[in-house]
């Protein structure tokens, strides 16, 4: 294991870059200084709290604490993804269901195949990695779905009038929404090794692991993230699009008012 450390001096010097960004933002009136300051403060507080909690959980190595951390991550991811679907009925429970099913399936496969062990030091980081990526993907799906339903409102009405069921009338919107959720992960995978060295691979190399073994782990992560974001987007979209219709299978005009 490498004995690399980050000193307080290093943190202060790194913060100078943030101050530089704030200075430029103020001078050019970019109106993002408040978001940067709030983001930095939240990151420091949240990461500090999580760091101490993880230290306790990892040291305790208790199955129930591990499961509790798993549940907290999934619930938070579902809640935040649901909030990004503001205006879509049942967005939060749909998001929670999609993330829970997908995360449980992904982590279970990794544990059963021996890729990771059921210990907090491995379960918690992997759960966070999977759930956060699905959360972002579902948020993008919701945004695209809401906008596209609004833009193609008349087209959907015409399809319904011609006898199409709600799935057929929404098929184009479903495909585009799912694609919008998966596309960032696909784009990221395309540039791995050429533009960026991903976090998992870099962390293992920093820890002294053979780069070839680190690459194998990163390839596994790529497959895992691509599969989980795809499945999560599909589940969320196929449950969410029905919320744009009422019980009579008509477009719910209240969502577009």
Alpha-carbon distances of 239 from 65, 94, 235, 244, rounded to whole Å: 31, 7, 6, 10
Q: How many CB atoms lie within 10 A of CB 217?
A: 17
What are the pLDDT digits (tens) for 95-154? 999 999 999 999 999 899 888 889 988 899 889 989 999 999 999 999 999 989 888 888
Q: What's the first-to-final CA gap in the chain, in angstroms?
A: 58
The Cα 199–Cα 206 span in angstroms is 10
| Residue spans per domain, the chain | 1-60, 61-256
According to DSSP, the residues that pair with 245 across neighbouring strands are 251
Name the pTM for this structure: 0.82
What is the structure's pLDDT at 1? Answer: 46
Identify the DSSP state of 114.
T
The Cα 28–Cα 198 span in angstroms is 33
Q: How many CB atoms lie within 10 A of CB 103?
A: 26
What is the structure's pLDDT at 121? Answer: 87
What are the pLDDT digits (tens) for 151-193? 888 888 888 888 888 888 888 999 999 999 999 888 888 877 6
Cβ atoms of 246 and 252 closer than 8 Å:
yes
What are the pLDDT digits (tens) for 189-238? 887 766 666 666 777 777 777 878 878 888 888 888 889 999 999 999 99
What is the structure's pLDDT at 198? Answer: 66
What is the structure's pLDDT at 169? Answer: 87
Q: How many CB atoms lie within 10 A of CB 30?
A: 12
């Amino acid at each position: 294991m490498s004995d690399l450390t980050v000193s307080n001096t290093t943190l202060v010097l790194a913060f100078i870059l943030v101050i530089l960004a704030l200075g430029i933002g103020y001078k050019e009136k970019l109106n993002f200084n408040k978001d940067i300051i709030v983001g930095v403060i939240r990151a420091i507080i949240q990461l500090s709290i999580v760091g101490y909690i993880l230290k306790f959980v990892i040291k305790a190595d208790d199955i129930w604490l591990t499961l509790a951390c798993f549940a907290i991550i999934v619930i938070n991811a579902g809640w935040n993804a649901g909030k990004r679907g503001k205006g879509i009925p049942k967005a939060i429970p749909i998001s929670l269901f999609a993330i829970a099913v997908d995360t449980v399936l992904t982590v279970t496969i990794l544990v059963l195949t021996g890729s990771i062990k059921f210990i907090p030091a491995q379960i918690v980081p992997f759960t966070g990695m999977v759930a956060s990526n699905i959360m972002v993907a579902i948020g993008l799906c919701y945004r695209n779905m809401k906008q596209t339903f609004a833009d193609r409102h008349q087209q959907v009405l015409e399809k319904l009038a011609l006898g199409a069921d709600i799935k057929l009338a929404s098929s184009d919107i479903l495909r585009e929404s799912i694609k919008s959720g998966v596309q960032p992960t696909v784009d990221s995978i395309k540039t791995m090794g050429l533009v960026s060295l991903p976090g998992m691979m870099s962390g293992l190399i920093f820890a002294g692991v053979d780069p070839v073994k680190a690459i194998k782990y990163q390839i596994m992560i790529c497959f895992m993230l691509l599969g989980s974001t795809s499945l999560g987007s599909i589940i969320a979209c196929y449950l969410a699009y029905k919320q744009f219709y009422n019980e009579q299978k008509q477009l719910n005009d209240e969502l577009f008012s």
